[in-house]
Structure 1
Amino acid sequence: MTKHAKFIITIALMLGMALAALDTTIVGTAMPSIVGKLGGITLYSWVFSIYLLTSTTTVPIYGKLADLYGRKPLFLFGTTLFLIGSVTSGLAQSMEQLIVFRAIQGLGAGAVMPIVLTIIGDIFNLEERAKVQGLFSGVWGLSSIVGPFVGGLIVDHFSWHWVFFINIPFGLVSMLLLIFTFKETVERKKHHLDYLGTLTLTGSVVALLFALLQGGTSWAWNSFQSIALFAATIVLFGLFAWAEQRAEEPILPFVLFKNRIITISSIGGIVLGILMFGITTYVPLFVQGVKGGSATSAGITLGPLLLAWPITSTISSKIIIKLGYRFTAVVGMLGAAAGVGMTALFNDQTSLTFIVVAMLLIGAGLGFASSAFILSVQNAVPWNLRGVATASTQFFRTMGGTVGVAIMGTILNAQMAVRFAPIYAHFADIASRLPHDIAPANVLLTPALRASLPMAFLTQLQTALSQSLFWVYGLMLVLAVIGFATMFSLPGGPAEKHAYKPTEEELAKHTSNEPVEMLSGMG
């Protein structure tokens, strides 16, 4: 492959990366305002969780299909579906519609990120990959910084619907560039798709999410519905594990996890996903609900996190080559844990400086850790497993975010129910004059209504929301500490020491120039 072709492909993939980054940060910042206008605070976490659900369960499927049929057609299909979901989300007229269209968007997003990272692994060798990884992290960070700011401006000055339409030009240009420049050689043979594994995995995750998001709100935790859903989760996951051991071409080969690097990186990915999605989901809620900020100020608050991430990712890519995965991942998770620990101290008196420092620490830590996880996994497997292996890291990251955000939403709803009721009872006269179709937390997210409230009532509501969010941040802190301790299990030493070494038989089998280059690039 020529340098010119690599350059054009890299631009196409960078646009694809920007597509995913813009969507994640714009929606996270805009959601408090969207909920304030559409209502449905109890559905808040569903908008994130349904997107993460569909994008999570499809990641290993896309990864496997990319190994079987090639990266290019799967990337184009996923991007097209993502854009369809973006357009329909932008046209949504209710929270229920938005949730449905976000599910479609997630079905496409499941292909974008893992296949972008897989193509990077295909066309660059390890040393080049470490440099390029920093470049792509920079694109992620820049898009993420612009996303909240632009999203906040759109929500504050125009209609929130437009935050989804911004994806369209990036997606179309990315697809066109890849169509005309990316050529790949795929071994054509008869394949056996793992339909049973796909269905049981998806069913297991859906049952778990319904149990977590509806339990304690729509029905009691000890009700028949909750017990049945948790039981279905266990049974379906058991069937998934059984199916994967017998499938000719499993979507998530368990043999991968015999490799300690992949196992530990997967655990780290789960924690990273919980922290990443948890912070970007609930810090904007704190800024707007407790501090009384706008969507724009909420986006700016996330800026330090999203700026620190690509900077440290660029630095860590170089450190990994010399000092290895363990050192980089340990440093990263330590920084993230310190930052999350600061968020647990947030209250209505917290200064902007304190919030900025916390975001910087979290962003810096996640930047170090994410590079270590991606490069270690890609470097540990041969070309024919790189797609599914890369997808597995994305799967566990988004799975962590999916389940994590769902659990946090459940905790937040339960805490708000306990704390808001006494306040409404104490200020019964004021509460009776509020619109009956607006939930208590939505009062804090509706600027016009908020401005009409007496200070004493408003202050107690802010304190109640802050205290409720404490338990969300506390959960993230516990998991961050667990992630930090787990990283010591990664092997030490330079990355090259742990690279996959193709056997003579594999080298002989892959006689065409491109696959040989791919294999040799691993070591």
Structure 2
Amino acid sequence: MQMTRNAKILVTIALMLGMALAALDTTIVGTAMPSIVGKLGGITLYSWVFSAYLLTSTTTVPIYGKLADLYGRKPLFLFGSVVFLIGSVASGFSHSMVELIIFRAIQGLGAGAVQPIVLTIIGDIFALKERARIQGLFSGVWGLSSIIGPALGGLIVDHFSWRWVFFINVPFGLLSALILLFALKEQVERKKHHLDYVGTITLSVSIVALLFAFLQGGTSWSWISWQSIGLFAVSLLLLAWFLREERRAAEPILPLDLFQNRIIVISSIGGVVLGTLMFGVTSYVPLFMQGVKGGSATDAGIILGPLLLAWPIAATISGKIVISYGYRLTALFGTALSLVGVGMALLFTPQISLAFIIVAMVLIGTGLGFSSSAYILSVQNAVPWNLRGVATASTQFFRTIGGTIGVAIMGSILNAQMAQRFTPIFANYQSVLQHLPKGVSPANVLLTPGVRETLPTALLNQLQVALSQSLFWVYLLLFILAIIGVVAMFWLPGGRADQYMYKSESTATEEQPQSDAVVPHIG
């Protein structure tokens, strides 16, 4: 695609701001959540704040990807940005955990468009070699915003109101949308399309049922109750219906033909593992720092800094390695590093040193940076222009579905483990329970600084050990998934990346869009 250098720079700036928007929200909220729970209560709903956001952003990703291929990238990006900002403002005005969960779901409806469409436009305007380099630039934006996010989120919570962790999204979102509104012009050929409504609904409800089963199973009802069995059955039946519909639909929301390509299949598996590791670590390591180590919200945010700094550095390097040595080596190296880092997390105890935690975060971040670039580049290079939107979206879909279901399972595990360990401890400290401030449950005492400081030392130590032991099982799940990720990467094809490009990209220029596709005009 031909465009002036200045036009490309302008669009790139808009996309970088959009990426910053997504990164800031993820890391600010993750590190502020322990304090938000301390203010609003409801630690049993802790995972729902993440899961509601991930649920709506996950189910909408393939929808936005398909619509972007049919109607253009810009209108979908602008729509997603507006919805995301509405959800951000509403989240900031929440007065209960239930309200926060609802408004986070609205945020997710918008977020489902932002990141995958940013990556799709990158694929449109940059050729393979440029794209490999530019991934480092965009990973740098993600990393810088992510590094600022935890520290900023902690400072806001400690010195201002937690509500500003949501309001901070507004200037970034508005600026990104305005630049793209005027810089990116698309000519859309008016053509009647047959949207896959049945596929969209069956996929969305299937994931909702599965999420409810994992979140409530073992807490609100037992795993072998009729509620759990019914939800799992509904999820499987709707998934089967969805797969049947995708084979029949004229324009399926998630074309199953894509998964005849081994690169897309293995990258999707890698995306599931990567999403679970990313959201698991950023959600539950801050909880360890604040609840077990007794740190502040700022400390909880800063501890993710090494991970979020290592990620963009690794992604910048990995772009060059992918070009020279191919997808398999790059992804395998990344998943192996993540495995070592998560293995170190299994050793986290109240006595563990800060240096040990930092090394683990660096290894995980480096591994995620190497593998994420390999997944995105491999998928985008394997498909033509008119499938790049849905293919890129499918990569993001599997990443977020991994995070969504993973965080739900981890929340269920943590709640069950805490209930098992906290109850006998508090049974020996009935007088402390009777004097807890109104609205502070026993499960929340470690996350409420004012209450934590009043606890007897013996009780505090026992609770910290109990929380550490509960989190061990969360980290064990991440470790098992990391092993699966390493094994799966051996099935990625070896050799140079240009051997596996879609044939139209084997020339020096990008392939031209199909006759019924959207033709972007920038500048």
Q: CA deviation at 1:2?
A: 1.2
- Superimposed CA distance per residue, residues 91-116 of structure 1 (whole angstroms, 9 cap, x where no aligned partner): 11110000000000000000000000
Map 1:484-495 → 2, pairs under 5 A: 484-495=486-497
Distance in 1 (alpha carbons) for counterparts of 2:5 and 2:248? 42
Q: Residues 272 and 397 of structure 1 are in contact (CA less than 8 Å); yes or no, is this contact kept in structure 2?
A: yes
1:410 alignment counterpart: 412
Residue 104 of structure 1 is aligned with which of 76, 99, 106? 106
Matched, 1:179 2:181: yes
Amino acid at match of 1:375: L
87-96 vs 184-193, greater mean Cα deviation: 184-193
Q: CA deviation at 1:222?
A: 1.7
2:354 alignment counterpart: 352
1:25 alignment counterpart: 27
2:56 alignment counterpart: 54
Distance in 2 (alpha carbons) for counterparts of 1:11 and 1:266? 28
Map 1:311-460 → 2, pairs under 5 A: 311-435=313-437, 437-460=439-462
Q: Residues 245 and 254 of structure 1 are in contact (CA less than 8 Å); yes or no, is this contact kept in structure 2?
A: yes
Map 1:230-241 → 2, pairs under 5 A: 230-241=232-243
**In the superposition, relative to structure 1, how do residues 101 and 27 fare at CA in structure 2: closer, same or farther (>3 Å)?**
same
Q: Residues 310 and 366 of structure 2 are in contact (CA less than 8 Å); yes or no, is this contact kept in structure 1?
A: yes
Distance in 1 (alpha carbons) for counterparts of 2:521 and 2:188? 14
Q: CA deviation at 1:189?
A: 1.6
Q: CA deviation at 1:503?
A: 10
Identity, % of aligned pairs?
72
Amino acid at match of 1:415: Q
**In the superposition, relative to structure 1, how do residues 482 and 176 fare at CA in structure 2: closer, same or farther (>3 Å)?**
same
Q: Residues 383 and 515 of structure 1 are in contact (CA less than 8 Å); yes or no, is this contact kept in structure 2?
A: no
RMSD of equivalent CA atoms: 1.9
- Superimposed CA distance per residue, residues 188-222 of structure 1 (whole angstroms, 9 cap, x where no aligned partner): 32110000000000000100111111112112222
Amino acid at match of 1:4: N
Q: CA deviation at 1:223?
A: 1.6
432-441 vs 292-301, greater mean Cα deviation: 432-441
Distance in 1 (alpha carbons) for counterparts of 2:513 and 2:52? 42
Amino acid at match of 2:301: G
Q: Residues 510 and 516 of structure 1 are in contact (CA less than 8 Å); yes or no, is this contact kept in structure 2?
A: no
1:73 alignment counterpart: 75
1:521 alignment counterpart: none
Amino acid at match of 2:487: A
Please report the TM-score for the alignment, with normalisation by the length of structure 1. 0.96
Distance in 2 (alpha carbons) for counterparts of 1:79 and 1:248? 29
Matched, 1:247 2:249: yes
2:465 alignment counterpart: 463
Q: Residues 385 and 514 of structure 2 are in contact (CA less than 8 Å); yes or no, is this contact kept in structure 1?
A: no
Counterpart secondary structure, 1:333: helix
450-459 vs 220-229, greater mean Cα deviation: 220-229
Distance in 2 (alpha carbons) for counterparts of 1:211 and 1:508? 45
Q: Residues 265 and 373 of structure 1 are in contact (CA less than 8 Å); yes or no, is this contact kept in structure 2?
A: yes
Q: CA deviation at 1:433?
A: 2.2
Counterpart secondary structure, 1:193: coil
Amino acid at match of 2:273: V
Distance in 2 (alpha carbons) for counterparts of 1:73 and 1:511? 20
Distance in 2 (alpha carbons) for counterparts of 1:517 and 1:490? 35
Q: Residues 205 and 233 of structure 1 are in contact (CA less than 8 Å); yes or no, is this contact kept in structure 2?
A: yes
Counterpart secondary structure, 2:221: coil
- Superimposed CA distance per residue, residues 418-439 of structure 1 (whole angstroms, 9 cap, x where no aligned partner): 0001101122222232246422
Q: Residues 264 and 379 of structure 2 are in contact (CA less than 8 Å); yes or no, is this contact kept in structure 1?
A: yes
- Superimposed CA distance per residue, residues 8-28 of structure 1 (whole angstroms, 9 cap, x where no aligned partner): 000000000000000000000
Q: CA deviation at 1:316?
A: 0.2
Residue 263 of structure 1 is aligned with which of 261, 265, 271? 265
Q: Residues 386 and 513 of structure 2 are in contact (CA less than 8 Å); yes or no, is this contact kept in structure 1?
A: no
Q: Residues 72 and 518 of structure 2 are in contact (CA less than 8 Å); yes or no, is this contact kept in structure 1?
A: no
- Superimposed CA distance per residue, residues 266-286 of structure 1 (whole angstroms, 9 cap, x where no aligned partner): 000000000000000000000
Distance in 2 (alpha carbons) for counterparts of 1:114 and 1:198? 17
Q: CA deviation at 1:516?
A: 11
1:159 alignment counterpart: 161
Q: Residues 154 and 162 of structure 1 are in contact (CA less than 8 Å); yes or no, is this contact kept in structure 2?
A: yes
**In the superposition, relative to structure 1, how do residues 508 and 14 fare at CA in structure 2: closer, same or farther (>3 Å)?**
closer
Residue 15 of structure 1 is aligned with which of 14, 17, 23? 17
In the alignment, structure 1 segments of 5+ residues that lack a partner are: 519-523
2:121 alignment counterpart: 119
Q: CA deviation at 1:47?
A: 0.2
**In the superposition, relative to structure 1, how do residues 508 and 339 fare at CA in structure 2: closer, same or farther (>3 Å)?**
closer
Amino acid at match of 1:83: L
**In the superposition, relative to structure 1, how do residues 513 and 439 fare at CA in structure 2: closer, same or farther (>3 Å)?**
closer
- Superimposed CA distance per residue, residues 224-280 of structure 1 (whole angstroms, 9 cap, x where no aligned partner): 211111111111111111111111101110100000000000000000000000000
Counterpart secondary structure, 2:29: helix
2:484 alignment counterpart: 482
Q: CA deviation at 1:512?
A: 11
Q: Residues 192 and 249 of structure 1 are in contact (CA less than 8 Å); yes or no, is this contact kept in structure 2?
A: yes
**In the superposition, relative to structure 1, how do residues 493 and 183 fare at CA in structure 2: closer, same or farther (>3 Å)?**
same
**In the superposition, relative to structure 1, how do residues 307 and 503 fare at CA in structure 2: closer, same or farther (>3 Å)?**
closer
Q: CA deviation at 1:187?
A: 3.7
**In the superposition, relative to structure 1, how do residues 187 and 321 fare at CA in structure 2: closer, same or farther (>3 Å)?**
farther
Distance in 2 (alpha carbons) for counterparts of 1:449 and 1:512? 63
Amino acid at match of 2:177: M
Q: CA deviation at 1:68?
A: 0.1
Q: CA deviation at 1:508?
A: 8.9
- Superimposed CA distance per residue, residues 275-311 of structure 1 (whole angstroms, 9 cap, x where no aligned partner): 0000000000000000000110111100000000000
Aligned length: 517
Counterpart secondary structure, 1:502: helix
